[in-house]
Amino acid sequence: MQADYVIVGAGSAGCAMAYRLSEAGVSVLVIEHGGTDAGPFIQMPAALSYPMNMKRYDWGFQTEPEPHLDNRTLVTPRGKVVGGSSSINGMVYVRGHAKDYDHWAEQGADGWSYADVLPYFKRMENWHDGGHGGDPDWRGKDGPLHVTRGPRKNPLFHAFVEAGRQAGYQVTDDYNGKQQEGFGPFEQTVWKGRRWSAANAYLKPALKRDNCDLTRAFARRIVIEDGRAVGVEVERGGKIEVIRAGREVIIAASAINSPKLLMLSGIGPATHLAEHGIEVIADRPGVGQNLQDHLEIYFQFASKKPITLYKHWNLVSKAVIGAQWLFTKTGLGASNQFESCAFIRSHAGVQYPDIQYHFLPIAVRYDGQASAEGHGFQAHTGPMRSPSRGEITLKSADPNEAPRIFFNYMSTDQDWEDFRACLRLTREVFGQEAMRDHVKHEIQPGAGLQSDDELDSFIREHAESAYHPCGTCRMGRADDPMAVVDPEMRVIGVEGLRLADSSVFPRITNGNLNGPSILVGEKASDHILGRPPLPPSNDEPWLHPDWETQQR
């Protein structure tokens, strides 16, 4: 088996590249270890807690004990299925803030400033405002990725935004447009009631072309001859074979598996590779370093009124919702239920938002366990730009063994200050008049926890990953010793090898990472094809005029 381009991983970036490269007429072969995404557990938006907790669809990774979180071991779901993590995620669509990308460019990712990436966001989107307003000039209208807004029928979605306004924050009609900062409607990758994953948006249309194929196999390492990547060694049906690439091998295997694959192939920190008896082909100390994530708390309140989704938290109601969705793709099953959100700044002097809120009209955990209080609602919230950095390293030279995942969460004083500020600001929002008719009492953290020590202890015990790992093969200039890929996604030190997924992020972006991961695949495609990038945009994003002196 061979093709011009062999892509390892049918995830968010891999699917986008398969689509764009095959569209250009070259032959593409995608290697994916996971299986089909068919069936209601993945395709029904409201069922999102199921695939993430199913061995069939998830790699089943876990962190090492995290020393600053009571030595807890946290789950690290990654999609092992066509569509990758876009097939098991919460379907929340966030571009990230304009300043995130300007920071990338400042860190050596030349050509990746916001002006450079905005045209690619427009190219990938097919945006539907659903009659709710927004910034049409900032959005794409005919891309493969459908982006929609939930119906927001539950009054709690509007009460949350109004509480933010009453607390003195901005209200924004389109956080993916000119102004991210503020409270407003959330967007989701859902189309006609179905999860619109990278598989549905990009891969399935690509596979209809004669020059694009998908093979189920487990990638063991990249085959490198005379300093050039020529193929991928895979295990398929119990046999080990090599799939050859006529032009280039492209790794898009996630922020966990991409550095692992590089290291197994001899590309990484030389001393670490030597410890595992791996021949060093390129000494790149940055491989596996710079690991980042978003950590969050589920801030829960008991509800005075029985208007939350808890009334559907029984078998009969779930069956009715499931049946309605199965036959009509409508009803509560057709939304991820994240329909209002906010992005705010924690302090004066912070230039752009560093706290995110996902609002949900039920008090429930990600594993599907409802709060014992019954009717309730919650906001997932946490700081966006933690200074903590972790790493991905090998446990052994055996490709079948999961890598060692260590995020090193909450390892700086700044993390604790930011998180405490976040919790206190959240209480203030939910204490506004708009929430008076709804908030019965605080379930967690619980109103009794007020001091720094009490809040810290709660964070240690209850902070959870938002499942946004990134940064482990970061992009930078070719002369930067810690960079792994250059701004055209070429792996530094090896010919014929590129890497494009969330692991190339120099720093984590604001919000959920599916949108930026697809963006990387979209823009990488033009670099791979040797095409000039899309012309930069002149649109100026909104920044709070008094950010230096005011928190809101």
Alpha carbons 241 and 258: distance in angstroms, whole number: 20
CA pair distance 508, 345, nearest whole angstrom: 16
Question: Cβ-count burial of 222 within 10 angstroms (0-12 exposed, 13-18 middle, 19+ buried)?
Answer: buried
Phi, psi of 219 (to 5 degrees): -75, 125
Q: Which two tokens stand for residue 226?
A: 């005379």
- 508: region left, alpha or beta (phi > 0 left; psi from -120 to 50 alpha): beta
- Report the distance separating Cα 40 and Cα 481, nearest Å: 46
How big is the chain, counted in residues? 552
Q: What is the four-CA torsion angle of 381, 385, 389, 392, rounded to 10 degrees?
A: 70
Q: Which of 294, 468, 527, 544 is catalytic?
A: 468
User: Residue 359: which of 281, 412, 434 has the closest Cα?
Assistant: 434
Residues in contact with 117: Cβ distance below 8 Å, sequence separation at least 6, in sequence order: 101, 519, 523
Under a CB-based contact definition with an 8 Å cutoff, are residues 337 and 313 in contact? Answer: no
**CB environment 304-340: b (16+ within 10 A), e (fewer):** eeeebbbeebeeeeeeebbebbeeebebbbbbbbbbb
Task: With beta carbons less than 8 A apart as the criterion, state whether 439 and 341 touch.
Answer: no
CA distance 377 to 442: 10
Reduced to 3 states, what is the DSSP secondary structure of residue 272?
A: helix
Q: Choose among 236, 333, 476: nearest CA to 42.
A: 333
Query: CA-CA distance, 514 to 199, in Å (whole number)?
Result: 13
Residue 18 host element (H or E): helix 12-23
SS3 (DSSP) at 356: strand
Is residue 521 within 8 Å of 366, Cβ to Cβ? no
Cis status of the peptide bond prior to 445, with omega within 30 of 0: yes
Q: Decide if 68 is catalytic.
A: no
Expressed in angstroms, the distance from the first to the final Cα of the chain is 58
With H, G, I as helix, E, B as strand and everything else as coil, classify residue 342: strand
Q: CA-CA distance, 197 to 146, in Å (whole number)?
A: 9
With contact defined as beta carbons under 8 Å apart, do 328 and 44 qualify?
A: no
Contact by Cβ (8 Å): 134, 173: yes
Q: Which residues are catalytic?
A: 468
